[in-house]
Amino acid sequence: MPAANTTTLYGTVTKTFHWLTALLIIAVIPLGVVANQLPYDTNAQLAFKAQLFSVHKTLGVIIFVVVLARILWALTQPKPGPLHPDRRRETVLAETVHWLLYASLVAVPLTGWIHHAATSGFAPILLPIGQSLPLVPKNETLSETFAALHWIWSKIMVAAILMHVAGALKHQFVDKDATLRRMWFGHADAPATAPHRGNLIAPLAALVVFGLATGAGALAGFFSHDSTTTTAALADVSSEWAVTDGAIEITVTQFGSPVSGRFADWTSAIRFDPDATGNAGEVTTTVSIGSLTLGSVTDQAMGPDFFDAGNFPTALFDATIIEDAGAYRAEGTLTIKDNSMPVTLPFDLTVDGDTATMQGRVALDRRDFNIGQSMNDETNLAFGVSVDVSVTATRGQD
């Protein structure tokens, strides 16, 4: 049996690509469906769900590579012509399905891969290639957009697969021709056919299907990035030093990998004397919990077992600013979910006239605030949480 195609028969390489792709698809689709529906209320449930998603993502990357190799091989090979060229509509439909299949087998794994690369956290790809992609930034809006495309276009893929299988079965049991046999290994006993001649109708029809499906997804709101979490509206504060820039970021460790995020909405009321020693002022910072983005686990972080943003919409840090031989720290109380703990935040400070800039970091233990109680060991989620704070403030504005 020849490795290359002829105008009548498919070669061994093409057949191997075809059936390898089929086996991978048979595995990857159920994994994704099952993993998506599994609960993750306990450590064991989350670990199992993540394992299934990891295998699903890994198979998706493998499919993407296999399909690209298959396409490159196909471009070098003649394609056997249809066995019933007189059935014009049936031939165009079959070619349209083939275009849908090839396009979706590239687009669906690629959109899933970009979705994964643009976010962080949960279910790593189990290949030694890292979790990022060149030219793909960490951006939650980008990640959610490609997640939506992945979901929409996967439905095109499933529909095309079902139509492809239905067509093969029709040829085998209704037409009783050699269409299916010539894609199987061994002697196909296929009749000679005219060389395959492509047409523009099939690829254009496939393009229209993708466009219509994407448009329908947009109308249905799949590309809407509105958070389901209610974000507490913070009142303006009067402050001796007005914050002009800054960030409050957290980093957790999930499955051994860091996952970083930030709170988009917070306020600080600051009284500070840069010439004072000892007690140099006070700071009260209020954080809107619902404004947190934390990679792919943002929604989970807002849930009852974690920040419980619905019942505890804000966190509060109330502290005294201490100067000690040129070093600064904020000593006070951090309250999250009505759990208050003493916290000391050491920070570096630069004062230039009426502008002050600080950067500080503090390590917390999530258990002190009853966060992630179902994760009672560090198998899935480490106890330690790193908090990074940076603030630029200007004096003399109330």
Domains (ranges, CATH) in the chain?
A: 12-219 (no CATH), 241-395 (2.40.128.110)
Q: Which letter does DSSP use for residue 2 in this model?
A: -
pLDDT band at 44 (very low <50, low <70, confident <90, very high): confident
Whole-angstrom distance, CA of residue 48 vs CA of residue 310: 27
Each residue's pLDDT tens digit, 316-345: 999 999 999 999 999 999 999 999 999 999
Whole-angstrom distance, CA of residue 393 vs CA of residue 398: 12
Whole-angstrom distance, CA of residue 377 vs CA of residue 43: 8
| Region of poorest pLDDT, from 51-55, 102-106, 229-233 | 229-233
Q: Across residues 109-115, what is the average pLDDT?
A: 98
Residue 395: is its pLDDT beyond 90?
Answer: yes
Whole-angstrom distance, CA of residue 29 vs CA of residue 25: 6
Q: Is 392 exposed, middle or buried (0-12, 13-18, 19+ CB in 10 A)?
A: middle
| Region of poorest pLDDT, from 234-238, 247-251, 368-372 | 234-238
Cβ neighbour number for residue 126 with a 10 Å cutoff: 13
Whole-angstrom distance, CA of residue 381 vs CA of residue 119: 17
| Pair of tokens at residue 10 | 């498919």
Give the pLDDT confidence score for residue 229 in this predicted structure: 59
pLDDT band at 226 (very low <50, low <70, confident <90, very high): low
pTM given for the model: 0.87
Residue whose structure tokens are 């030219």: 135
Quote the percentage of the chain above a pLDDT of 70: 98
| Mean of all residue pLDDT scores within the chain | 93
The phi, psi pair for 74, rounded to 5°, reads -60, -35
On whether the CB atoms of residues 98 and 167 are closer than 8 A, the answer is no
Q: Is 330 exposed, middle or buried (0-12, 13-18, 19+ CB in 10 A)?
A: buried
Q: Which letter does DSSP use for residue 296 in this model?
A: B
Q: For residue 117, give the 3-state DSSP assignment.
A: helix
On whether the CB atoms of residues 293 and 262 are closer than 8 A, the answer is yes
CA distance to 24, 61, 100, 110, 166, per residue, from 157 (Å): 13, 16, 7, 13, 14
Give the pLDDT confidence score for residue 269 in this predicted structure: 97
Give the pLDDT confidence score for residue 398 in this predicted structure: 47
Whole-angstrom distance, CA of residue 203 vs CA of residue 207: 6
Residue 397: is its pLDDT beyond 60?
Answer: no
Strand partners, 360: 347, 389
Q: Which residue has the higher pLDDT, 310 or 233?
A: 310
Q: Which residue type is seen at 217?
A: G
On whether the CB atoms of residues 67 and 28 are closer than 8 A, the answer is no
For the CA atoms of the chain, what is the radius of gyration?
A: 29
pLDDT band at 271 (very low <50, low <70, confident <90, very high): very high
Residue 233: is its pLDDT beyond 60?
Answer: yes
Q: Which of 94, 147, 93, 98 is nearest to 122 (CA)?
A: 147
Q: Which residue has the higher pLDDT, 398 or 188?
A: 188
Q: What angle do CA 282, 286, 288 make, to 5 degrees?
A: 165
The phi, psi pair for 331, rounded to 5°, reads -105, 120
pLDDT band at 190 (very low <50, low <70, confident <90, very high): confident
Whole-angstrom distance, CA of residue 108 vs CA of residue 24: 13
Give the pLDDT confidence score for residue 260 in this predicted structure: 94
Q: Across residues 119-125, what is the average pLDDT?
A: 91
DSSP calls for 155-168? HHHHHHHHHHHHHH
Q: Which residue has the higher pLDDT, 328 or 228?
A: 328
Q: Which residue type is seen at 58?
A: T
Each residue's pLDDT tens digit, 348-385: 999 999 999 999 999 999 999 999 998 889 989 999 99
Residues in the chain: 398
Q: Which of 61, 79, 107 is nearest to 18 (CA)?
A: 79
